[in-house]
Structure 1
Amino acid sequence: MHEYLRAVGFSSIENKEQLKHLLEMTEDSYQSEKTAFSGNGNDFSERKKEFAPRMGIILRGEYDEKGDYQRDYYFPYFEGTQEKFYDNISIERHAEKESYAGVCEDLSMGVTIIFYVQNIVDYLSERHLNHLSSCTARIRFSGLSIDGRILLPVAKRMTEEENSEAILQRTRLLKAAREGDEEAIENLTLEDMDTYSMISRRIADEDVFSIVSTYFMPYGVECDHYNVLGEILNIEMVENSLTRERVYILTIESHDLIFEVCINQKDLLGEPAVGRRFKGIVWLQGNVSFQN
Structure 2
Amino acid sequence: MKHKFLRAIGFSKYNKSDMIRPLLDQVRHSPTASVLVREGSEVFGHLSKSFGDRIGIRVYGEYEEGKEFRQEYFFPYADSNTISTTSPCVVERQSDRNAYGGLCEEPALGVSLIFYLSNGMEYARRLASSVESEKITGVSLTALSVAGKILLPMKKSHWQKASSQAAVKTRGRLIEAAKNGDEKAMESLAMEDMNLVQEISGRIGQEDLYSIVDTCFMPCGLECDQYAIIGEILEVETIRNTMTGENLYRMLLECNDVKMALLINQMDLLGEPEVGRRFKGDVWLQGRAEFASTEEE
TM-score (normalised: structure 1): 0.94
Q: Superposed, which structure 2 residues align to 1:205-216 within 5 Å?
A: 205-216=206-217
1:47 is matched with 47
1:235 is matched with 236
Q: Superposed, which structure 2 residues align to 1:38-187 within 5 Å?
A: 42-66=42-66, 68-129=68-129, 135-156=135-156, 158-187=159-188
- State, as a whole percentage, how many aligned pairs show the same letter: 38
1:20 is matched with 21
Q: Distance in 1 between matches of 2:88 and 2:131?
A: 15
Q: Distance in 1 between matches of 2:176 and 2:131?
A: 28
Q: Distance in 2 between matches of 1:136 and 1:175?
A: 20
Offset, 1:191: 0.8
Q: Distance in 2 between matches of 1:32 and 1:220?
A: 33
**Any conservation in 2 of the 1:88–1:135 contact (CA below 8 Å)?**
no
Report which stretch shifted further, 80-89 or 69-78.
Answer: 80-89
Residues 164-185 of structure 1: per-residue CA shift (max 9 Å, x gap): 3222211111111111111111
**Any conservation in 1 of the 2:90–2:104 contact (CA below 8 Å)?**
yes
User: Structure 1 150/87 Cα, relative in aligned 2: closer, same or farther at 3 Å?
Assistant: closer
Answering whether residue 273 of structure 2 is matched by residue 272 of structure 1, we say: yes
Q: Distance in 2 between matches of 1:131 and 1:33?
A: 20
**What residue identity is the alignment partner of 1:113?**
L
1:287 is matched with 288
Corresponding residue SS for 2:124? helix
Residues 142-165 of structure 1: per-residue CA shift (max 9 Å, x gap): 011001000101122644433332
Q: Distance in 2 between matches of 1:168 and 1:75?
A: 35
Offset, 1:68: 2.1
**Any conservation in 1 of the 2:116–2:287 contact (CA below 8 Å)?**
yes
User: Structure 1 85/154 Cα, relative in aligned 2: closer, same or farther at 3 Å?
Assistant: closer
Which sections of structure 1, spanning at least 5 residues, go unmatched?
Answer: none
Offset, 1:126: 2.1
Q: Distance in 2 between matches of 1:206 and 1:285?
A: 34
Q: Distance in 2 between matches of 1:230 and 1:64?
A: 45
Residues 18-62 of structure 1: per-residue CA shift (max 9 Å, x gap): 111111112111111111136x86211211111110001011111
Corresponding residue SS for 2:84? strand
CA RMSD of aligned residues (A): 1.9
Q: Distance in 2 between matches of 1:50 and 1:131?
A: 29
Q: Distance in 2 between matches of 1:99 and 1:163?
A: 38
**Any conservation in 1 of the 2:35–2:47 contact (CA below 8 Å)?**
yes
1:3 is matched with 4
**What residue identity is the alignment partner of 2:71?**
R
Which sections of structure 2, spanning at least 5 residues, go unmatched?
Answer: none
1:259 is matched with 260
Q: Distance in 2 between matches of 1:155 and 1:244?
A: 37
Corresponding residue SS for 1:19? helix
Corresponding residue SS for 1:83? coil
Offset, 1:72: 1.3
**What residue identity is the alignment partner of 1:249?**
R
**What residue identity is the alignment partner of 1:60?**
Y
Residues 42-88 of structure 1: per-residue CA shift (max 9 Å, x gap): 21121111111000101111111115211111100100121034343
1:226 is matched with 227
Offset, 1:131: 12
**Any conservation in 2 of the 1:37–1:124 contact (CA below 8 Å)?**
no
**What residue identity is the alignment partner of 1:10?**
F
Q: Distance in 2 between matches of 1:47 and 1:211?
A: 45
Q: Distance in 2 between matches of 1:234 and 1:85?
A: 18
